[in-house]
Structure 1
């Protein structure tokens, strides 16, 4: 499957990979831009190219019949977005309990244009004491870019400046829907 994924990604699609995924057991992986449903399938392909396992959360309706088994098999975990629950603490607790997890989140929180990113990923990483790995799906350059692992600092503003620099000039599939990170 790994070789087939590489053939599809590099030869058929003509995409490139910039950076390598850090050799760490636990982290938050933020993927942006998330402007299309096709981003999910690109994510499934790149996980096979990298030969890494990634987990993700999705709205609970995705995990119902007939596709629920598939999303769980692919590393998905359902989230009930209708309740007033503490998503940050629940995710941080989950990370602390397992030996290995690369929890992938879309910081925009939607495929639509947003004015600013949600900060939940940041506070999950801080609470769980795990690093954040930035991943850019750049449709303009036909590349996926992977950062080093960054631990949160005492300054969320400073950390977001790092994220902003990483995603600068990145183009999503629906280019008008991508917002460079801000608080």
Structure 2
């Protein structure tokens, strides 16, 4: 599957810049999330780099037979109306597992947003794990993987550093990206 995924990325002109860390636990934030294509690009990239990631998706997507595919790909259904409980549930997943990588889109949707959700930051901080920033740059056809970023607990200090990584990355539909 890894070689096939690498071939597919190459065939469609995509390149991967950077490497995933050799850590057992971290949050992978992937942005900008502006298109349904992001899931396909992301899953292909996941297999190409030999990773095994889990991702949160709205529970409404987990209907038969799509639920079988989503769960096989690492999907975890969530009720997005209970955001505080979601942070605690994710922290528990990290505490219960020896190896766990959770991919999150900080926008929480493909629709235009004015600002990002901060749950990924709170999960990483409470679970004492790093955040690995990944950008899908459709203009350059690059999947950019940044070095792990360890949250300090001061979101006002840390969040601008996270946003800085994404400033030059162009999503599939750039008009949906918030003005940082």
Distance 1:43 1:84 in 2: 24
Stretches of 4+ aligned residues off by more than 4 angstroms: 82-85
* Partner of residue 156, structure 2: 157
* Range 76-85 or range 155-164, more displaced: 76-85
Structure 1 partner of 2:43: 44
* SS of structure 1 residue aligned to 2:87: helix
- Assess, with a 3 A threshold, how the Cα gap between structure 1 residues 55 and 168 changes in structure 2: closer, same or farther: same
More displaced, 149-158 or 68-77? 149-158
Q: Distance in 2 between matches of 1:126 and 1:170?
A: 25
| Aligned twin of 1:112 | 111
What's the secondary structure of 1:77's corresponding residue?
Answer: strand
Match of 1:9 in 2: 9
Give me the TM-score of the superposition, normalised by structure 1: 0.94
CA distance 1:85–1:65, shift in 2 (3 Å): farther
CA contact (8 A) 2:125 2:153 kept: no
TM-score, normalised to structure 2, is 0.95
- Matched with 1:170 is 169
Quick check: 162-171 or 126-135, which moved more? Answer: 162-171
Size of the aligned set, in residue pairs, is: 180
Distance 2:153 2:5 in 1: 39
CA distance in 1, matches of 2:117, 2:140: 26
Shift of residue 153 of structure 1?
Answer: 0.9
Deviations 1:128-154 (A, max 9, x none): 111100000000111000011111113
Which segments of 5 or more consecutive residues in structure 2 lack a partner in the other structure?
Answer: none
Distance 2:126 2:81 in 1: 23
Q: Report if aligned partners of 1:31, 1:107 keep a CA contact under 8 Å in 2.
A: yes
RMSD of Structure 2 on Structure 1 (CA): 1.3
> Residues 154 and 126 of structure 1: is their aligned pair in 2 closer, same or farther, counting only changes over 3 Å?
closer
SS at match of 1:70: helix
Equivalence map 1:119-158=2 (5 Å): 119-158=118-157
